């Protein structure tokens, strides 16, 4: 992944790459069929286990289920805000969706996004993602057409769980 050095009045460029397990591993898990399914539903289905998300304990802990109905965005796409949930994983599963983007970034030592780690992944309609707690990410971006996504976020009940931050502009390109 190359991030061009930012200069005054110019956006860093972030090139799209396909969503692949090894590349996405620092940020979470891909929600897609794997290599080792097990029989399920009386032999009529194959179950692919993606992983277990550890639960944070809190009196007000809740799992929030939503649908995001997203208008398609044109490339190149300029982004200048990221969010993270320090205490909670967040899962996205495309429902009625075409290709879409997920843009992620790890934290630096000070907790702010370390833009040198930023990645923009192009996801197939059969691929979802599960962000690990604390991973900075941009809102899901449809590119081909209006798309529906199932999205759930873990709400631990504390106001500090959801953070948004402005960043120097990134220009996501093919």
Binding footprint of a copy of itself on the chain (CB under 8 A): 29, 31-33, 37, 40-42, 44-55, 57-58, 61-71, 73, 81, 89, 91, 93-96, 125-126, 128, 130, 139-141, 148, 150-152, 154-155
Question: Smaller CB distance to a copy of itself: residue 125 or 134?
Answer: 125
CB of 108 to a copy of itself, least distance (A): 24
Question: Nearer Cβ to a copy of itself, position 71 or 110?
Answer: 71
Return the structure tokens found at 148: 């529906």
Residue placing its CB nearer to a copy of itself in the complex, 1 or 62: 62
Pairing of strands 62-70, 147-155: antiparallel
Residues 164, 6: contact at Cβ < 8 Å? no
Closest approach of Cβ 124 to a copy of itself, in Å?
10
Chain-centroid distance of CA 164 in Å reads 14
Residue 129 CB, shortest distance to a copy of itself, in Å, is: 11
> In 3-state terms, what secondary structure has residue 114?
coil
Residue 138, SS3? coil
- DSSP of 63-99, one letter per residue? EEEEEEEE---PSSEEEEEEEEETT--EEEEEEE--S
Comparison of 53 and 170: residue with beta carbon closer to a copy of itself: 53
């Amino acid at each position: 992944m190359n991030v061009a050095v930012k200069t005054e009045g110019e956006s860093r460029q972030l090139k799209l790459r396909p969503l692949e397990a090894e590349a996405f591993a620092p940020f979470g898990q891909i929600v897609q069929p794997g290599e080792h399914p097990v029989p399920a539903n009386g032999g009529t289905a194959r179950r692919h286990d993606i992983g277990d998300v550890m639960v944070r304990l809190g009196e007000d802990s809740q799992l929030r289920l939503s649908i995001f109905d997203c208008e398609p965005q044109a490339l190149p796409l300029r982004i200048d805000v990221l969010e993270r949930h320090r205490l909670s994983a967040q899962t996205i599963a495309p429902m009625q969706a075409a290709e879409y983007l997920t843009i992620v970034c790890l934290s630096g030592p000070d907790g702010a996004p370390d833009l040198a780690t930023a990645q923009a992944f192009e996801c197939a309609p059969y691929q979802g993602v599960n962000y690990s707690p604390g991973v900075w990410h941009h809102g899901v971006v449809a590119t081909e057409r209006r798309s529906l996504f199932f999205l759930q976020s873990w709400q631990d009940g504390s106001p500090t769980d959801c953070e948004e931050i402005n960043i120097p502009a990134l220009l996501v390109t093919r």
